[in-house]
Structure 1
Amino acid sequence: MHKGKGMKFVGDSRISAERKPNASKDYSEYPGRTEAFWPNFLLKEWLAGSVFLVGFLCLTLAHPSPLEGVADPTDSAYIPLPDWYFLFLYELLKYEFAAGPYIIMGILVLPGIAFGALLLAPFLDNGPGRRPHQRPIAVTMMLLGLASVIWLTYTSAENVNWEERAEANKPIPPTEVEIDTEHPGYAIYENSCMSCHGGSLEGTAGPTLVGIDYTAEEIAQIAVDGIGTMPADQFTGTDEELEQLAEFIVTVNEEAK
């Protein structure tokens, strides 16, 4: 008991006069959650990550990403597409408010606002609860972003002929056939087709011509009318030269069988 100008101050012996630093919470009341972070918990995380990484590497080795043909600057009909995880941004640039004179909106402003909002979501909604209904701002922003990405990706993928692109992007098989340079159709092929289909018909900018199942008449029609990404009127020779060209390609394929 202390005296001071007529006032009495009573100290409580149950409260320590010394200030102690904040002690961490006692987790002994939560069974199974008292393991050490290092190395017990961290080792489990590393093992789980290693299993996922090994599985992912095996998947990439078993099914490698398809690569398209060599770029052909003369092919004005080719439409390049980004990888699937960027398709939603590609689709965004098709809208009027994000294209043309407003292209900056599509490539900088809108994506910047969207990704910036996701980064700020935890700070805008920093309540103590972790349930979705207790974090309405963060959950709403995340659902809105996820729905936008899914919708834009689906809309973009819906307008792509994936079967045609897969057919055009088949891996080029190694050719072991001998090219008869004395054949009358070889000189025509060299002038009209070699730049796209290669000196051994293995394919460069265009697909390979080895292993195709077309008759001479069908090959002649394709050379004139085109097929797939190959535009029409690529061959400008005479009918006799067209026939020799088709016979040359058929001969090469017969030797490859």
Structure 2
Amino acid sequence: MQRGKGMKFVGDSRVPASGRKPNIPKDYSEYPGKTEAFFPNFLLKEWLVGAVFLVGYLCLTAAHPSPLERLADPTDSGYIPLPDWYFLFLYQLLKYEFVSGDYVVIGIVIIPALSFGALLLAPWLDRGPERRASRRPIASGMMLLAVLAVVYLTWEAVENHDWEAAAEQGEMLDDEAAELAEQVDTEHEGYQIYSDQGCIACHGDQLQGSGAAGPSLFDTQYDVDTIKNIAVEGIGEMPPGLFEGTDEELQILAEYIASGGGAQEGESGEDGASAEDAAGEETTEESDEE
């Protein structure tokens, strides 16, 4: 046989193989029990699984409503915020001395950047073909370290948080207290003094209080003289010397707080006027009878 005659290089892409079949995927029916039609079989299963999870979430929502708190008060400096559970590890991290205060940039920028950067670089740091975790020490070690750190910091955040104080500061006002808070006269001169002296930071913008930071003042049982003494000398966790106004301003502020933010003052004024009118009518009737 001479060279070049009767030979065919089927491995050469330049020579088409005779009788080559078109590249058509086999029908799923050729693999019974291993494949199924996308519509409607597979799609129906996906919808059923999704419906089960949706019903489960709705049941959890009905059984455990969202833990809503009262309306946000931007003047409440004593409010202790708490992030969602998936950010608790960062919340706890910022409590440590070496990542807070003057070093807060380390906690909020450098450490998170290094952590997420290590995750992004993991495919290039460990390029081995092995799929077993025991044979990929670099990637497995980085992942194990990250998981342990997140679990530990989250646990510490939950253990060290004052849940009773958090529930108290976020407790909603009842109907009676909300009605009294709405009646607070914010145009009163006493309210301006109340705001200028910084009382609003602990006792709220409507004298409703702010949980652990300060009690409500619109239903206080103290009289004017007692309130003046507390404003100057303090009481409980309230330190002395917070009031820095004049004696006249102190008197106005004490009368304003004692009247429940001006709400009871108007009512008492109306009652007093009606009482005087009634007394006047009785006097007139007695004089007419005589």
Matching residue of 1:35: 36
Computed over aligned residues only, the root mean square deviation of the Cα atoms, in angstroms, reads 5.2
Residue 89 (structure 2) pairs with residue 88 (structure 1):
yes
After TM superposition, give the deviation of residue 122 of structure 1 in Å.
5.9
The answer to whether the Cα contact below 8 Å between 2:83 and 2:91 also exists between their aligned partners in 1 is yes
The answer to whether the Cα contact below 8 Å between 1:70 and 1:204 also exists between their aligned partners in 2 is no
Q: Name the CA distance, whole Å, in 1 between partners of 2:94 and 2:159.
A: 16
After TM superposition, give the deviation of residue 108 of structure 1 in Å.
2.9
Matching residue of 1:4: 3
Letter of the aligned partner of 1:144 in structure 2? L
Sort the Cα spacing of 1:198 and 1:115 in 2 relative to 1 into closer, same or farther, 3 A.
Answer: closer
The answer to whether the Cα contact below 8 Å between 1:91 and 1:156 also exists between their aligned partners in 2 is yes
Matches within 5 A, 1:189-228: 196=203, 203=208, 205=210, 224-226=234-236
Question: What secondary structure does 1:47 align onto?
Answer: helix
After TM superposition, give the deviation of residue 149 of structure 1 in Å.
0.7
Q: Name the CA distance, whole Å, in 1 between partners of 2:71 and 2:236.
A: 18
Sort the Cα spacing of 1:215 and 1:125 in 2 relative to 1 into closer, same or farther, 3 A.
Answer: farther
Instruction: Name whichever of 167-176 and 64-73 sits farther off.
Output: 64-73
Letter of the aligned partner of 1:59 in structure 2? L
Q: Name the CA distance, whole Å, in 2 between partners of 1:112 and 1:22.
A: 48
The answer to whether the Cα contact below 8 Å between 2:210 and 2:216 also exists between their aligned partners in 1 is no
The answer to whether the Cα contact below 8 Å between 1:87 and 1:153 also exists between their aligned partners in 2 is yes
Q: Name the CA distance, whole Å, in 2 between partners of 1:79 and 1:33.
A: 56
Sort the Cα spacing of 1:56 and 1:117 in 2 relative to 1 into closer, same or farther, 3 A.
Answer: farther
The answer to whether the Cα contact below 8 Å between 1:92 and 1:106 also exists between their aligned partners in 2 is yes
Matches within 5 A, 1:230-249: 231-233=238-240, 245=258
Q: CA offsets per residue over residues 87-143 of structure 1, 9 Å max, x none?
A: 2112223445544555444323322332343355467457474x5446555443332
Larger radius of gyration between Structure 1 and Structure 2:
2
Q: Name the CA distance, whole Å, in 1 between partners of 2:116 and 2:83.
A: 19
Matching residue of 1:160: 161
Residue 174 (structure 2) pairs with residue 173 (structure 1):
yes
Matching residue of 1:17: 17
Residue 68 (structure 2) pairs with residue 66 (structure 1):
yes
Matching residue of 1:141: 142
Structure 2 unaligned blocks of 5 or more:
11-15, 181-187, 244-249, 265-290
Letter of the aligned partner of 1:17 in structure 2? A
Sort the Cα spacing of 1:26 and 1:197 in 2 relative to 1 into closer, same or farther, 3 A.
Answer: same
Matching residue of 2:116: 115
Sort the Cα spacing of 1:134 and 1:67 in 2 relative to 1 into closer, same or farther, 3 A.
Answer: farther
The answer to whether the Cα contact below 8 Å between 2:73 and 2:204 also exists between their aligned partners in 1 is no
Q: Give the percent of matched residue pairs that are identical in Structure 1 and Structure 2.
A: 41
Letter of the aligned partner of 2:65 in structure 1? H
Question: What secondary structure does 2:2 align onto?
Answer: strand
Structure 1 unaligned blocks of 5 or more:
180-186, 253-257
> Could you tell me the TM-score, scaled by structure 1's length?
0.57
After TM superposition, give the deviation of residue 154 of structure 1 in Å.
1.8
Q: Name the CA distance, whole Å, in 1 between partners of 2:145 and 2:204.
A: 47
Q: CA offsets per residue over residues 160-200 of structure 1, 9 Å max, x none?
A: 21111112212222228986xxxxxxx9x97769953576x
Q: Name the CA distance, whole Å, in 1 between partners of 2:39 and 2:135.
A: 32
Letter of the aligned partner of 1:4 in structure 2? R
Letter of the aligned partner of 2:73 in structure 1? A
The answer to whether the Cα contact below 8 Å between 1:88 and 1:156 also exists between their aligned partners in 2 is yes
Letter of the aligned partner of 1:33 in structure 2? K
